[in-house]
Amino acid sequence: MSYVDEVYQSVVEKNPAQPEFHQAVKEVLESLRVVIEANEEEYRRDALLERLTTPERQLLFRVPWVDDKGQVQVNNAFRVQFNSAIGPYKGGLRLHPSVNLGIIKFLGFEQIFKNSLTGLPIGGGKGGSDFDPKGKSDREVMAFCQSFMTELHKYIGADTDVPAGDIGTGAREIGYMYGQYKRLTGLYEGVLTGKGLSYGGSLARKEATGYGLLYLTEEMLKCNGKDINGMTVAVSGAGNVAIYAIQKAQQLGAKVVTCSDSTGWIYDPEGIDVELLKEIKEVKRARLSEYAAGRKSAEYHEKKNGEHGVWNVKCDVALPCATQNELDIEDAKALVANGVIAVAEGANMPTTMDATEYLQKNGVLFAPGKASNAGGVATSALEMSQNSERLSWTFEEVDKKLQGIMVNIFHNLDEAAKKYDMEGNYVAGANIAGFLKVADAMKAQGIV
């Protein structure tokens, strides 16, 4: 059996009931096969793939907190410190009822390669809890965040592990966590990113993942002789990534006609009104049905089981920005039938493996999340730099650096794909480019 197959089999055996983690490992190892086989003897001797697919440290802890009725609640929480070969662990905290160890491991594993691709010195990690901030009062969210940080603060620090936001963890949650960290340690340091502007946050961090997604998509289209200006775009999600992806797509001259949340989706043929969307999602924290109520041109569709929502709409570019495995083979077929030119992932692993293959086989330009959504973590690393320097850069400075990073990422993966005779396969290009730097650093640091 080849080294790649052996390691994949062992990952499945040693990590039962973690399908998302298996899926992420399979996708990465498959596209690295050519590189691994060229160095098989050395990698096998050093157990490089075993070390790469096994987290350096996994923390599991309980989070007790008191709800508004005086009832004690208990949640499960995780921090997976996956790989620190090229820098301190860096990756977000997801707060969602679906969170379990397998999901955090898939996200942490992806983060290693994503962070490497940014060209910045950050290792891979991820964390979170099955706590659901939806429907909770501010006091309940604060109680949870303080209890969560009371345990987590022992294991993180500005030079060791720097968490950030993700699904369910926005500015409010980061603020409560930062306050508790500072209170417990007495340190005013850049231990979390995505902070508010009044206490060490970076301008353009909020916009960074969505804007970065569009910078990379624009570059990918340009290098393939196409212009995003005038194109029709379908977006899923209505959270942090989706909102700023929609805004930047519109600034680049595209028309975005869809968005979605976990209960339904919007089709707005006149183009999504971003200000209205922000008011509903960022201020009121309400459902998307309110968007349709406030805008005549919009149709609201309740989410039904087995229905394919936004991906049935005719578009040139599709940007999945909600959650993992939200674009499946049926969706990919509908997109191809409707003439889609490019798909770029704003979320982490939103496209199933068979859907990705189908899109690629049908000539659709496909940018994988670990490259196309890396703008968020890249700007988090810029926030860390500003915190270390005790300086704040302007919005324009950060945005310009972000744009440079995203364009650079695209060229790195394009070149890696070409070098290994897989021109246009940006999934392989991203995995190879991300992997080579980490593998080199691991080799140089010996067996640790």
Q: Which residues are catalytic?
A: 126
| Sequential DSSP letters for 221-232 | HHHTT---TT-E
Report angle CA 103, 109, 115 to the nearest 5 degrees.
Answer: 125
CB of 160 to ligand NDP, least distance (A): 21
List, in order, residues 6 or more apart from 342 with CB less than 8 Å away.
Answer: 217, 220, 221, 226, 316, 317, 318, 364, 365, 366, 367
Closest residue by Cα to residue 283 from 249, 243, 237: 243
Closest residue to ligand NDP: CB criterion:
239
Asked whether position 258 contacts ligand NDP by CB under 6 A, the answer is no
Enter the tokens of residue 220: 């990918």
CB of 163 to ligand NDP, least distance (A): 12
List, in order, residues 6 or more apart from 191 with CB less than 8 Å away.
Answer: 156, 157, 158, 162, 163, 178, 181
Asked whether position 239 contacts ligand NDP by CB under 6 A, the answer is yes
Asked whether position 260 contacts ligand NDP by CB under 6 A, the answer is yes
CB of 353 to ligand NDP, least distance (A): 16
Residue with tokens 């189908």: 358
Beta bridge partners of 256: 233
CB–CB of 241/164 below 8 Å?
no
Strands of the sheet containing 89-95, edge to edge, are 57-66, 72-83, 123-129, 89-95, 161-164
Count of residues interacting with ligand NDP (CB under 6 A): 25
Looking at beta carbons only, is 23 or 362 nearer to ligand NDP? Answer: 23
Which residues 145-184 are close enough to bind ligand NDP by CB under 6 A?
165-168
Asked whether position 209 contacts ligand NDP by CB under 6 A, the answer is yes
Looking at beta carbons only, is 279 or 415 nearer to ligand NDP? Answer: 279
CB of 228 to ligand NDP, least distance (A): 20
* SS3 category, 23: helix
- Compose the 354-393 pattern: x for residues touching ligand NDP by CB under 6 A, - for all others: -------------------x--x-----------------
Q: d(Cα 132, Cα 134) in Å, to the nearest integer?
A: 5
Asked whether position 237 contacts ligand NDP by CB under 6 A, the answer is yes
Of the candidate spans 218-226, 233-241, 390-398, 434-442, the one that interacts with ligand NDP by CB under 6 A turns out to be 233-241
List, in order, residues 6 or more apart from 125 with CB less than 8 Å away.
Answer: 79, 80, 81, 82, 89, 90, 91, 108, 111, 161, 163
Enter the tokens of residue 25: 């490992």
List, in order, residues 6 or more apart from 273 with CB less than 8 Å away.
Answer: 291, 295
Of the candidate spans 37-45, 81-89, 261-269, 439-447, the one that interacts with ligand NDP by CB under 6 A turns out to be 261-269
Asked whether position 238 contacts ligand NDP by CB under 6 A, the answer is yes
CB–CB of 64/140 below 8 Å?
no
Looking at beta carbons only, is 36 or 79 nearer to ligand NDP? Answer: 79
- CA–chain centroid gap for 333, Å, is 24
Looking at beta carbons only, is 120 or 321 nearer to ligand NDP? Answer: 321
Looking at beta carbons only, is 156 or 242 nearer to ligand NDP? Answer: 242
Q: What number of residues does the chain have?
A: 448
CB of 346 to ligand NDP, least distance (A): 6
Which one of 84, 146, 202, 240 is in contact with ligand NDP (CB under 6 A)? 240
Which one of 36, 49, 93, 241 is in contact with ligand NDP (CB under 6 A)? 241
Looking at beta carbons only, is 153 or 205 nearer to ligand NDP? Answer: 205
Looking at beta carbons only, is 221 or 322 nearer to ligand NDP? Answer: 322
Asked whether position 261 contacts ligand NDP by CB under 6 A, the answer is yes
Which one of 31, 53, 118, 348 is in contact with ligand NDP (CB under 6 A)? 348
Which one of 347, 406, 413, 432 is in contact with ligand NDP (CB under 6 A)? 347
Q: What is the identity of the amino acid at 83? A: N
Q: d(Cα 52, Cα 444) in Å, to the nearest integer?
A: 14
Q: d(Cα 182, Cα 175) in Å, to the nearest integer?
A: 11
Q: d(Cα 269, Cα 229) in Å, to the nearest integer?
A: 17
Of the candidate spans 42-50, 231-239, 399-407, 428-436, the one that interacts with ligand NDP by CB under 6 A turns out to be 231-239
CB of 279 to ligand NDP, least distance (A): 14
Asked whether position 250 contacts ligand NDP by CB under 6 A, the answer is no
* SS3 category, 124: strand
Which backbone phi and psi does 50 adopt, to 5 degrees? -65, -45
Closest residue by Cα to residue 168 from 265, 289, 266, 261: 261
Looking at beta carbons only, is 8 or 265 nearer to ligand NDP? Answer: 265
Which residues 317-346 are close enough to bind ligand NDP by CB under 6 A?
321-323, 326, 346
Q: d(Cα 201, Cα 387) in Å, to the nearest integer?
A: 8
- Compose the 302-321 pattern: x for residues touching ligand NDP by CB under 6 A, - for all others: -------------------x
Looking at beta carbons only, is 36 or 92 nearer to ligand NDP? Answer: 92
**Chain residues that interact with ligand NDP, rule: CB under 6 A:** 165-168, 209, 236-242, 260-263, 321-323, 326, 346-348, 373, 376
